[in-house]
Amino acid sequence: MKLSALSRSELSLRLRHGLPLRTGAFTFRVKTCIPSVAHGLSLLYADYPLAAEEFSDFHVTLASPPTLRRWFKSQVTFRFDGMAPFAPLPYTQAFPMLEWGLNWCVSNHANNYLIIHAAVVEKNGYAAILPAPPGSGKSTLCAALTLRGWRLLSDELTLIRLSDGLIEPLPRPISLKNASIGVIKRFAPAAVFSPEVRDTVKGTVAHMKPGADSVRRAALPARAAWIVFPKYEAGAPSVLDTVTPARAFMRLADNAFNYSLLGQQGFHTLAGVMDGTAAYDFTYSVLDEAIQVFDALPVPA
Amino acid sequence: MRQQTPQKPQKPHEQQALILAALRDPQALPGWDLPRWDLLLRQLRQADLTASLYIQLQQRDLLEKIPRQPRRHLEWAAQFARRHTQSVLWEVGFIRKALQEAGVSLVLLKGAAYVAAALPQAKGRIFSDIDILVPKGSLEMVESTLMLYGWNTGHHDAYDQRYYRTWMHELPPMQHVKRMTAIDVHHAIVPVTARIRPAPDKLLAAAVPANGETLDRVLAPADMVLHSAVHLFYDGEYDHGLRDLVDIHCLLMHFAQQPGFWGGLVSRAQELELARPLYYALRYATSLLHTPVPDAVMRAAEVARPHPVLLWVMDALFQRALLPKHPSCDDRYTGVARFLLYLRANWLRMPPVLLIKHLFHKAFLSPKQSG
Amino acid sequence: MKWRAVASSSDCVRLWGDEYVVYNPQSGNTHLLGLAAGQILQRLQDAPLELRDLVSLLESDWRQVGGPELMQEVASLLEDMHALALVERV
């Protein structure tokens, strides 16, 4: 059963007790009384299946701490089974906090994957990994690609299976900030967004609903074919520059959450990925041009 | 449509004891249903025992029989533990070199000792610092050599420095500037100010080689058990109480195979003035984890049994404080129990006047520090 | 005095074009090495060698005679790799 089958009041009630939700390979039990979280879920997670009550990978709650502060300038705390990995945030940031919290749960635990801080999209059976430090425009590019025929595998966490080197999808709402919110809204006026949240550490933040198709195909892994390090530069033409496999390896390891933790297995898995991919630095400024470049990427031998 | 409200898997008492049931009888775990596994994993995580259970199941060839969803969580923790063992061995190499320079032989304690001696429990055991034991007379030399090799004492105020150096049994924790690894240098296993005096030179004299490949040493089997017991029952921090009790359980199970171990345990405890912590260790290991301690040993250990009223109080406190710090394991007295044990531990470490000064300082004067 | 690789398995050495990526199973660290350093490492994985013998093997690998400068360069690379715990003296 999908989340969309629940009415708003049913959704709020189930969230009060803990709603089990499946996102890709992980199930979360989400517990909260905060209306903006319920609203964000109903908007962006409509296509997601509910999970069975009997077992959840991660139990998370979002709540206002029970202090006097709740009556003015109130806050919200994210807890993972009672433990708070982040400092409390302003109450208005509850929904983005949920998104950051769900990412934290996966990146801190899922050690059967090599987890790279990167977006990853797929077309015709081949996946492009977009690693990038903040500010590179990775999420904007990722969002645009998924609006033009590429399947969203993930916008934040690329999960590479240690067992076979394939990418495990984890499609979730795409996080956009500041100017890129407006850029994507103009790029795709029909796209569904959560309400904008201002004054976060990243500035103004909003999340875009992933295509139903990406969510539907979350169980289908993909083979990595390209590593593309994007860099947005105002006014720049679209340019692809080859990166050697060894250097791409080191840059990916740097961008990984658990490369060091995985030891020898991490090394072998990443080496396997480099064997099967071509790596590029990519500078761009015009989204339509960038998409053309991606559509024309040569399939590796 | 009628609302489905989620069902709690079982009654509160059963929930509390879930992790104990798992540790006592890993053989039964393939038969557990998913709701029980869901809660068990959460208790294990809080207790830092997930990897430990993985090892127990691996040793009994039961992993494949565990349902896929919970099994994943066990595997995730095991990977973390594997990496941890690798980095401990690497770090011990650096410490060994530094101590060689100082002319002091390396005696490892606790988790690092389990890893160096390749004890079965070592594979599932995570810990943050490496603990070593050195003769008190070598302390200055060891400290300056470690500093030469990149370890730093870190930001402790003058009061804390005095606390550690004068009263406790260790230098303030040192951290390596580049590798960020931490080392605790002990010269005794209980504080200087405590009322019991397990002679460190006896421990050092009895230390045995950790393995056949290096000159690193660890405490003798009985001493290892006793150190673990005094650490658990004299320390005030019970965040990892169950994990420490599991350590004791695993040590007993492992050394039980050595001839003479059981026969010598109680007499060694008496020799080191550690008969009371040993009594508690055996009592709670048998009651909570069903450790198979021979009757004769239990009877011999009873010589250090406290007054029945005190024992009744200790039972009430420890049986709560030794459970994981998870809401499903707490009852309304758990918070009080932990607090009272914290006070008790400080009482045991220090004479009353010092204790009052110390608690006052900690409460009002100490700059904010991480625990 | 001979040099040898700390990790004897060639499993942890990968070569793409002119660049090596090497994993050290003891330290858990991963390193990017140039062609010369990578080849030195592979030679020392095959067997422990004295500097002089290592240089002769490399000369025949690279089909050139190097003289004292090559000896110095190799010695310097060995020191760098020693600092990374990739090679050790025996």
Our CA dihedral for B131, B137, B140, B144, rounded to 10 degrees, sits at: -70
| Interface mutation target, options B50, B66, B80, chain A, most CBs of A under 10 Å | B80
Total beta-carbon pairs less than 8 A apart between chain A and chain B: 54
DSSP B362: I
Q: In chain C, how many domains are there?
A: 1
Distances A205 to A61, A210, A267 between C-alpha atoms, Å: 21, 16, 35
Q: Which residue from C19, C23, C30 is facing A247, i.e. has the nearest CB?
A: C19
DSSP C49: B
Give B347's pLDDT tier (boundaries 50, 70, 90). Answer: confident
Give B6's pLDDT tier (boundaries 50, 70, 90). Answer: very low
Question: Which residue of B lies nearest to A259 if distances are taken between CA atoms?
Answer: B83
Q: What is the CATH number of the domain that holds C69?
A: 1.10.10
The DSSP-derived string for B127-159 is -SEEEEE--GGGHHHHHHHHHHTTEE--S--HH
Of C71 and B212, which is predicted with more confidence? C71
- Strands of A24-57 (E only): list them: 26-32
Q: Are strands B217-218 and B107-109 parallel, antiparallel or unpaired?
A: parallel
The DSSP-derived string for A248-259 is HHHHHHHTBSST
| Residues 6+ away with beta carbon under 8 Å from A146 | A121, A152, A174, A210, A211, A214
Count the helix, strand and coil residues of chain B and give each as a percent rounded to the nearest 5: 65, 5, 30
What are B57's strand-pairing partners? none
> Is the pLDDT reported for residue B62 higher than 50?
yes
Of B348 and A59, which is predicted with more confidence? A59
Contact B83 C25 (CB under 8 A): no
Spell out a b/e string for B213-240, using b for 16 or more CB atoms within 10 Å of the CB, else e.
Answer: eeebbbbbbbbbbbbbbbbbbbbbebeb
> Is the pLDDT reported for residue B8 higher than 70?
no
A-chain CB neighbours of C23 within 8 Å are: 264, 267
Subunits next to A (3 or more Cβ pairs <8 Å) are: B, C
Domain of C7?
3-89
Tens digit of each residue's pLDDT (9 = 90 or more) over B284-304: 999 999 999 999 999 999 999
Of B350 and A267, which is predicted with more confidence? A267
> Is the pLDDT reported for residue B144 higher than 80?
yes
Are A200 and A91 within 8 A, CB to CB?
Answer: no
Of C36 and B347, which is predicted with more confidence? C36
Tokens (6 digits) for A81: 């089974």
B-chain CB neighbours of C25 within 8 Å are: 86
Distances A215 to A22, A25, A119, A146, B303 between C-alpha atoms, Å: 10, 11, 15, 12, 66
Say whether residue C3 is in contact with chain A using an 8 A CB cutoff: no
pLDDT score at B366: 61
pLDDT score at B128: 82
Catalogue the long-range contacts made by B290-299 (C-beta closer than 8 Å, 24 or more residues apart): B290/B24, B291/B248, B291/B249, B291/B252, B291/B253, B292/B253, B292/B256, B293/B252, B294/B262, B296/B262, B297/B262, B297/B265, B297/B266
pLDDT score at B4: 41
Rounded Cα distance between B161 and B306, Å, is 35
User: What pTM was estimated for this model as a whole?
Assistant: 0.90
> Is the pLDDT reported for residue B50 higher than 60?
yes
Helix/strand/coil for C85: coil
Q: Which residue from C12, C16, C25 is facing A246, i.e. has the nearest CB?
A: C16
Say whether residue B180 is in contact with chain A using an 8 A CB cutoff: no
Total beta-carbon pairs less than 8 A apart between chain A and chain C: 40
Mean pLDDT of B66-94: 94
Q: Which residue from A246, A247, A264 is facing C23, i.e. has the nearest CB?
A: A264
Tens digit of each residue's pLDDT (9 = 90 or more) over A97-142: 999 999 999 999 999 999 999 999 999 999 999 998 877 889 999 9
The total of other beta-carbon atoms located within 10 Å of residue B129's CB is 15
Burial class (CB in 10 A: 0-12, 13-18, 19+), A60: buried
Are B61 and B30 within 8 A, CB to CB?
Answer: no
The total of other beta-carbon atoms located within 10 Å of residue B161's CB is 13
Q: Which residue from B6, B75, B79 is facing A262, i.e. has the nearest CB?
A: B79
Tokens (6 digits) for B214: 């290096």
Q: Which stretch of DSSP H or E encloses residue A89?
A: strand A89-90
- Report the Cα A22 to chain-centroid distance in Å: 14
Q: Which of A:260-289 have CB within 8 Å of C?
A: 260, 263-264, 267-268, 271, 274
Sign (positive or negative) of CA dihedral A150, A152, A156, A157: negative
pLDDT score at B369: 46
Q: Quote the ipTM score.
A: 0.93
Say whether residue A105 is in contact with chain B using an 8 A CB cutoff: no
> Is the pLDDT reported for residue C59 higher than 60?
yes
Are B130 and B95 within 8 A, CB to CB?
Answer: yes
Of C57 and B235, which is predicted with more confidence? C57
- Angle between helix B241-255 and B221-234 (nearest 10): 160
Q: Which of A:236-255 have CB within 8 Å of C?
A: 244-247, 249-250, 253
The total of other beta-carbon atoms located within 10 Å of residue A103's CB is 20
C-chain CB neighbours of A260 within 8 Å are: 28
pLDDT score at B246: 95
Rounded Cα distance between B73 and A108, Å, is 12
The distance in angstroms from the start CA to the end CA of chain B is 50
Distances B262 to A110, A123, B126, B244 between C-alpha atoms, Å: 42, 66, 28, 20
Mean pLDDT of C74-87: 92
pLDDT < 70 positions in chain A: 68-73
Rounded Cα distance between B265 and B272, Å, is 11
Are A112 and B75 within 8 A, CB to CB?
Answer: yes
Q: Which residue from A245, A249, A260 is facing C28, i.e. has the nearest CB?
A: A260
Tokens (6 digits) for A262: 């995985």
Q: Which stretch of DSSP H or E encloses residue B37?
A: helix B34-47
Are A98 and A34 within 8 A, CB to CB?
Answer: no
Q: Which residue from B33, B79, B86 is facing A111, i.e. has the nearest CB?
A: B79
Question: Which residue of B lies nearest to A20 if distances are taken between CA atoms?
Answer: B6
B-chain CB neighbours of C26 within 8 Å are: 86, 89-90
> Is the pLDDT reported for residue B353 higher than 70?
no
Instruction: Strand A26-32: give its sheet, edge to edge.
Output: A19-23, A26-32, A58-63, A75-80, A89-90
What are B96's strand-pairing partners? none
Tokens (6 digits) for A297: 């990427």
Q: Which residue's entry shows tokens 């000369």?
A: C59
Give C82's pLDDT tier (boundaries 50, 70, 90). Answer: very high
Are B274 and B282 within 8 A, CB to CB?
Answer: no
Say whether residue C4 is in contact with chain A using an 8 A CB cutoff: no
Closest CA to B367 of B158, B104, B128, B206: B158
- Could you give the percent of chain B with pLDDT greater than 70? 91
> Is the pLDDT reported for residue B117 higher than 70?
yes
Are B315 and B337 within 8 A, CB to CB?
Answer: no
Mean pLDDT of B179-183: 89
Are B211 and B255 within 8 A, CB to CB?
Answer: no
Are C6 and C26 within 8 A, CB to CB?
Answer: yes
Question: Which residue of B lies nearest to A9 if distances are taken between CA atoms?
Answer: B3
